Amino acid sequence: MWGKVSPGARVALAWLVSRLTLMVAVLVIARLAGIGPEVHPLASGNWVADRFAYWDSYHFTRIASVGYLPPGLECCDQAFFPGYPLLITAVAPFVGGSQIVAGIVITLVAGTAAAVLLWQLVREDPRGGPVSARHAVLLLALAPFGYFLVAVYTEATFLAFAVGAWLLARRGHWWWAASLAACASAVRVNGLFVALGLAVMWALARWGAGADGDTPVARPRWSTLPALAVPALPVLGYMAYLHARTGSWNAWREAEHLGWGRVLATPWTGLSHAVAQVGATDSWFLAASRVGDIAAVLLGIVVIAVLVWQRRWAETAFLVPSVGVILCSTLWVSAGRYALTWFPVYLALTTLGESRAARWAWRAVVVACVPLLALATYAAATRQWVA
């Protein structure tokens, strides 16, 4: 009977099993550690559901519940884009009205879609294939900060939209690709980096200047060029909304600065801040998390070099600003979580070739991910800072 199941359905089922296993691990660890009911005023009151909502989760559920800038709260929910809270609002009525349960359901569905789309993207890649596709999904499943792919966070949703947009663009469906990229922009401003990558892909396809892995089969028509502007519309719309409410076109960036102290900096200044923060805490969990942030940024830089070597210019165009916005800031916190959305990492690391060095590199990454995932999952379950 298993043989009659389509390969895509197998990937979806395997992904769901991996996520449910991770969720059970979180629940067991939390119970054994004696973690009690969540005391946050926006908690659901359901001990199980509340294991997967913490930190930024409550920004999303508050926005879904009362919108932006309610009386008495001038900052800093506006740092978070409206796409994910809108989805929570839409799904909540179907799950008993709980925004937290809605967020978990959205994350699980989006994560499953992202895994299947990533599998298909790597499977269709000229350097990829079925084996590389399975490896890419395995890497995503073993990502150390995988807790956020089962929690009330935006990573899974953004990843599904971004990879879906990329796959559709590879197939030459530019308007549909732009529409999904616009959905990604509604969830996170980094959707604009997806749009940048699509623009590079379009140009390479139009003028035939890309490597095999960069260029869709069909040469795009000029009539598809306006599609590349579509992903900017949600960002412009959100900026206009905040301007109408606050008088500032840059209100979301100002909220980031006020709430988290994020400011533009040189890469070496950002690195020095990140290193200093490692030694500025007595908590080894927090120190380990900050080391993970630094490692994520360095991994991003290494993968950019790999992408350039592979002549994947569109993927490079997406990843450079994705890493750069962290590298060139004074706050590297959560870089490991952000890295979950860097889908070119999975593509690059699983299409290195069949050389002995490539095989050893792949095995080393997998072996390293397993204990790191276990440690981060334990930290998240016991309410330690891991992002």
- For 63, phi then psi, to 5°, come to -60, -45
Which segment, 145-154, 260-269, 285-294, is predicted with the most confidence on average? 145-154
pLDDT of residue 211: 44
Q: What is the mean pLDDT of residues 323-344?
A: 95
Mean pLDDT, rounded, of the chain: 93
pLDDT of residue 215: 52
Q: What is the mean pLDDT of residues 71-85?
A: 93
Rounded distance between C-alpha atoms, residue 381 and residue 313, angstroms: 39
Least confident residue range of 141-150, 214-223, 234-243, 251-260: 214-223
* Residue 268: partners with Cβ closer than 8 Å, 6 or more residues away: none
Instruction: State the CB neighbour count (10 A cutoff) for residue 301.
Output: 14
Rounded distance between C-alpha atoms, residue 172 and residue 170, angstroms: 5
- Express each pLDDT in 284-304 by its tens digit: 888 888 999 999 999 999 999
Instruction: Match 């490079």 to its residue by tokens.
Output: 316
Rounded distance between C-alpha atoms, residue 211 and residue 208, angstroms: 8
- Express each pLDDT in 229-245 by its tens digit: 999 999 999 999 999 99
169 Cα distance to chain centroid: 19
Q: What is the mean pLDDT of residues 118-127?
A: 95
Q: Are 63 and 255 in contact (CB under 8 A)?
A: no
Least confident residue range of 82-86, 209-213, 217-221: 209-213
- For 36, phi then psi, to 5°, come to -90, -170
Q: What is the mean pLDDT of residues 179-193?
A: 98
Instruction: Match 């506006």 to its residue by tokens.
Output: 78
pTM value is 0.95
Rounded distance between C-alpha atoms, residue 291 and residue 293, angstroms: 5
Q: Are 49 and 102 in contact (CB under 8 A)?
A: no
Q: What is the mean pLDDT of residues 94-116?
A: 97
Rounded distance between C-alpha atoms, residue 314 and residue 42, angstroms: 41
Query: Can you spell out the DSSP letters for 239-264?
Result: HHHHHHHHS-TTHHHHHHHHHH---B
- Residue 387 token pair: 């992002």
Rounded distance between C-alpha atoms, residue 54 and residue 382, angstroms: 11
pLDDT of residue 283: 83
pLDDT of residue 72: 87
Rounded distance between C-alpha atoms, residue 307 and residue 300, angstroms: 10
- Express each pLDDT in 267-285 by its tens digit: 999 999 999 989 888 888 8
